[in-house]
Structure formats: C-alpha cells, structure tokens
Structure 1
Amino acid sequence: MGTIISMSTGTGSERGGSAALTIGIDVGGTSIRASVVDSAGEVLDSLQSPTPASAKALENGLDRAVRELSARHEVAAVGLAVAGFITPDRTTVRFAPHLPWVGAPVGRDLGQRLGLPVILEHDVNAAAWAEHRFGAAAGGRNVVMLAIGTGIGAALLADGRLYRGSHGVAPELGHIQVVPDGRPCACGKHGCWERYCSGTALVDTAIELLAADPATSTVLAREVAVDPGVLTGRRIAGAAQDGDPLALETMREFARWLGVGLALIGDVYDPDLVVIAGGVASSSPLFIDEAREHYAALTTGAGHRPLARIRPTQLGEAAGMIGAAELARAVLPDRVG
C-alpha cells in the first residue's frame, strides 16, 4: 500500500464521548484518505497513503487503513466516498474511471473482512451530506453541490434527502449538453457543461482566446509562448488575481458558463442553495458575483422568482470523508433520529 501518513488529533474518549465513532474514507485515484469522525462531524484522527493500482491491492490497503485507525479508536462502521457509479444498495461499485473496480462488491467484501458495516457513496454525495449536516448547506432544503475541478461532479438533496435516481447514478450535471457539437468530452459526447466550466475548461478557453488573437501580449500569454505547460487552471486563476487581462477574460467566460448551468439547474430543480466545491472553490471571488448575474438573467421568469443562494464549501477537502463517516453512522441499529 505504500507509506501511511498518520495524523492523530485526539482520542475517541476525549472528543467523541459515548457516541459511536465511524471511519470515512475518500478513495481517490491518487490517494486514500481515511478519518475517524465523531457524531458532531469532528475529525479525530487521519491517515493517508497512495492509491494502489490493482483491485486486490486497493482492498488490502483499505483493510489496512481501517485496522490501523481501529487500533486507536473503537469504531462501529465504515463509509467509502468513491468517484464512480454506485448501486442503489450502496454495496457495489459499478464503474469508477480512476479506480480498478468494475462491478465490484466492495462493501460486502470489505465488511466481511473487517467485521463491520461498510457502505459506499458517490464522493460528491458524501461531501454534500457533510455540508448539509455540518457545513455550508446546513439549513438548506433543496440543495445542489457542484464539485468543480477537472470536471464537474454534482449532488442533489431534495427535501433534505440525497437524491440518487433510480439506478444510483444521478445527477450527472457536468454532462448536460450546453453547446451542440461543442468541445469533445471524455464521456463521448460533445459540448458538455464541464467542457466549458471546469479547471480543464479554463485552459481550453485561454488557448481559444490566444488563437483568436495571437498578438495578445500579457504576462500569461508571454509565459505560454515560452512554456505551454505553464497553462493550468491554477495558474490562470493566479494570473487573474494579479490582473492579467487574458486570465481575467478567461475567468469571465468561466463565470458566464457557470451562470448558464446554474440557470438550467434552477429551471429543473429550483434549489434554495447551491454549494460550490472542488479545486476552483478557492478562486470563487474571481467569478461568483458575475456568475450570479448571468444566472439571474437567464433563469426562466427572471425577476419574478427567488433565486438560490450560492455559497463556497465550508468543509473543503475533508467533506467527503466526513460525509461518508456520517452516512455509515446512519446504518447503525442504535441510530436515533
């Protein structure tokens, strides 16, 4: 599994009281991050390790992580936050593009190995549940979370309950087509929303702007001319903060497409709250106000209906682990409420 990095911040008896402790694990394509979480959503202990390449090694790594944390804390259940399609009973990974699982009954197999209840959840669903219980979505009734990074992950809470659809794969908002015959998407379609509103899309937009005006001379444009590899979403956001005109125009396009998508979401779901998470959330001051303006102007019935509040994530990268742990706690037989 590789080296495990442990980060203990206390014991269950010190922070968790008599309430059951659970483990939440964010199973990412690069790393496994596992945390012991109490019933107040506080992270008591954590560890991290590289994600193994094979299914067997990955399951062995998860087993090892749980056993290491269980040796320090009495835990009652485990939740896995997975970027992939999960069956409605939350026991099996149908498909995960960055993990070696296809039709894998991970929850059943890992539960048998550990002797603990193990549930699976889509990673953005888990993060949304954490924000609903303990963070930016607290008090929201109909909530959409958008995790905007390489692409767009999404989650929906309807009347305070996670909506997973009939087959456990809803909502795939990032693959709503916004531009017919637009930019190609890894999903096989063209013109998906995430191809215009994501960290990857920032790079594509900047390239298109440079192609349309090759004479553009800004700090960012000159850097790209020397080394095209410098053009990343993070660098564009940094250049925009510094006032670079090319980067600012790229962020304006991003804000416009975010507003387009928010208007579509508003017409379909009519949420009272949208939480923005993912890699671009830290740059939200660069685009959120302009995105709100586009959203307000494009929503059907504009000016005659309430609009959703838009907030950045409060729990950040820990949300998936906290949410998975809380969802695992909900399956315990002595759960109250």
Structure 2
Amino acid sequence: MLTIGVDVGGTSVRAGVVDGEGLVLDTERAGTPKGEAALEDTITAAVSRLLDRHDATAVGLAVAGFVNSDRRRVRFAPHLAWRDAPVADRISHRLGLPVVLEHDANAAALAEYRFGAARGAHVAVLVAIGTGIGGALLVDGQVFRGAHGVAPELGHLRVVPDGRPCPCGKNGCWERYCSGTALSTTAIELLAKYPGTSSLLAAQVAEDVNAVTGRRVAGAARDGDALAQRAFGELARWLGEGLALVADVYDPEVVVIGGGVSESAPLFLDDAREHYAAIVTGAGHRPLARIRTAQLGDDAGIVGVATMARDLAARTVRNGRGH
C-alpha cells in the first residue's frame, strides 16, 4: 500500500510517495505561498502530480504548527497561513482520498520509531534542532499530544530567566540557546566580547553581521576556526542542560537528535552527552538515555506522516467492510 506524505514547512512544500518499508519512491517540491488558498492549491497540485504516477491510497500532512487532537484542523502555525482551519477535510475533498494531519516533529518521531534510531524504544523523545527546537514524545510507539494536542513544546522550556527574547513572547527559551539561530547569535556575541579575534567568522562579520549564519558557523568550526568551535561548545552545553530537564520529566529510553543542526553532530554531541550525564538528577545512580542522531534525515516528516496515512487508510477500509 503506497501513501503520500507532505512536509509543509515555512519555505517549501515537499511531497513524497512512501511504501510500507518507509522508503521514499518519488517526490515533488514547491515553494510555500503566503495565502491560505494558495497554500492548499500548492499542496493539492504536488500530490496530484504524484497520483498521476502512483496509485496511492491516502495522504498525510506534516505541519510545523499546532494540530488539534483528532488531527483534522490546524489551530496555529507561526510560519503558515492557517488559523483554526479544517485543512484535512478540505484537502480530502479536493483529492478524493483520506487525509490526516500531524505536527512535523511527531511525524518525524514516528518515522524514527518505525524505521530508524528509536526503533522499538519503550519511551522515546525526538529533539529536532533547526531554526528552533521541535519536540515529540512516543510511549510504546504512540504519540503523546497532551490534552489539547499541542504537547510537548520542548523548545520553549525556559532555561535562562530574563534571557534572550524568543518570538513566542517569552525570554530565555531553550531554542534561543540551542538551535541554528542560537548558534549564530552566540557567535556574534563572542565576536563582540573578543574584538580583534583573528578568524574566518570575524572577517565575515566585519563585512556583514547577517553573514554569520548557523550553517557558516558550522563550516568554520569544521575548518578549525576556534571561535566557531567555542560557539559549538556553548550549544553543546545548552543541549546537555535541556536534555537533563527532558530526562528528569520523561525518563526516556532513547533521545533522537534530528533537524538540520544534527548534521553537525560530530562538533557537539559527545560534549552534550557528557554534560547531560554529569548534571541529570541522580547522576551516577540511574540509567541514562541513549542519545542518538536521527537516521532518516529530511525525509523523516514525510515518512512518518505517510505511515500515519497508511494506518488511516487501513482503518477506512476496515470500517467500509464493516458497513
């Protein structure tokens, strides 16, 4: 049974045909438009092109935003046009197929549980580190969504009272210190603290402060830039701090580190593991979570939500036969 997963992000819409083994067989991509109707047109067109080439039975949408408990409506998505919108029903009506919605981090976590780094774990947490931090919790393979479908917002745990301002409205959120955005902010702060530093990053910021992006900090660190490596040291420390909080609350068997920043894991993950192990409550007297990098990369959201769509299609078939 083939299904289609769609990763609806703030900059692009990526759709893929996925088989029962979690393999992405074919893809379509388009830019994310700003308007609500245009966004749904873009999704429908991308899926329709795939349906012209493949006999898929259901569609899943992985959304960077809040999805209600029955996974039919998008409550709020900060970088998308939807506000309390019945997206699943509207897309289903246009395509003539069952459609399910899911938060993108939940979808990625399910993919890693079924096919990747969290396979078989009793309690698994996904920490997706990109522009911000997305989080997900699985218990025996079931997504925990909270009472209203919006849990867990790990990126907005406050780790520094009165710290860096966050777009969510609070100050000191975890993702302001541990993300691609945080990496560039830390690098700029270090450059200001140590003026006259001879480094590739110093040369870049002298020309344009906006040139210091997380991706460029990562490249400079791999090239041996001491200041960039120090910025990664700060990211590692804050990742360890946040993981200790996560472990205190959820006591997971495995934590999967995903998102774009995870591609630079050799620069920070060992240090983060050591810091987490040293400060977690009961350090030295309790089992520690295995901390692993995601195996499915950018396809995790597509694979996870396509898997949910496959489950939905199977239930639809069973219910149809029951009638």
What TM-score comes out, normalization by structure 1 length?
Answer: 0.91
Alignment of 1:139-178 (within 5 A): 139-178=120-159
The reply on whether 1:99 has 2:80 as its aligned counterpart is: yes
Letter of the 2:219 counterpart: G
How far is the alpha carbon of 1:62 from its aligned partner?
Answer: 1.6
Q: Distance in 1 between matches of 2:17 and 2:203?
A: 47
Match of 2:321 in 1: none
Match of 1:258 in 2: 239
Could you tell which deviates more after superposition, 320-329 or 201-210?
201-210
The reply on whether 1:316 has 2:297 as its aligned counterpart is: yes
Letter of the 1:310 counterpart: I
The reply on whether 1:278 has 2:256 as its aligned counterpart is: no
Match of 2:61 in 1: 80
Query: Does the 8 Å CA contact 2:110/2:141 hold for their aligned counterparts?
Result: no
Could you tell which deviates more after superposition, 187-196 or 219-228?
219-228
Q: Distance in 2 between matches of 1:182 and 1:287?
A: 22
How far is the alpha carbon of 1:230 from its aligned partner?
Answer: 2.1
In structure 1, runs of 5+ residues without a counterpart are 1-19
How far is the alpha carbon of 1:228 from its aligned partner?
Answer: 2.1
Alignment of 1:79-228 (within 5 A): 79-228=60-209
Q: Distance in 1 between matches of 2:45 and 2:205?
A: 44
Assess, with a 3 A threshold, how the Cα gap between structure 1 residues 293 and 78 changes in structure 2: closer, same or farther: same
Q: Distance in 1 between matches of 2:32 and 2:166?
A: 26
Query: Does the 8 Å CA contact 2:129/2:260 hold for their aligned counterparts?
Result: yes
Segments of 4+ moved more than 3 angstroms: none
Give 3-state SS (helix, strand or coil) of 2:246's partner: helix
Cα offsets for 1:88-134 (capped at 9, x unmatched): 00000001111110011000111122221100000111011111111
**Alignment coverage as a number of residue pairs:** 316
CA RMSD of aligned residues (A): 1.2
What TM-score comes out, normalization by structure 2 length?
Answer: 0.95
Q: Distance in 2 between matches of 1:304 and 1:133?
A: 31
How far is the alpha carbon of 1:319 from its aligned partner?
Answer: 0.7
Q: Percent identity?
A: 64
Q: Distance in 2 between matches of 1:86 and 1:148?
A: 20
Cα offsets for 1:282-321 (capped at 9, x unmatched): 1000000000011001100000111111111111001111
Q: Distance in 1 between matches of 2:43 and 2:241?
A: 40
Query: Does the 8 Å CA contact 2:106/2:135 hold for their aligned counterparts?
Result: yes
Q: Distance in 2 between matches of 1:99 and 1:213?
A: 39
Q: Distance in 1 between matches of 2:12 and 2:226?
A: 36
In structure 2, runs of 5+ residues without a counterpart are 319-323
Q: Distance in 2 between matches of 1:278 and 1:37?
A: 20
How far is the alpha carbon of 1:159 from its aligned partner?
Answer: 2.4
How far is the alpha carbon of 1:204 from its aligned partner?
Answer: 1.2
Cα offsets for 1:111-169 (capped at 9, x unmatched): 12222110000011101111111111112221111110110011111222111111010
Query: Does the 8 Å CA contact 2:241/2:279 hold for their aligned counterparts?
Result: yes
Letter of the 1:259 counterpart: G
Match of 1:64 in 2: 45
Q: Which has the higher helix share?
A: 2
Match of 1:267 in 2: 248
Query: Does the 8 Å CA contact 2:91/2:99 hold for their aligned counterparts?
Result: yes
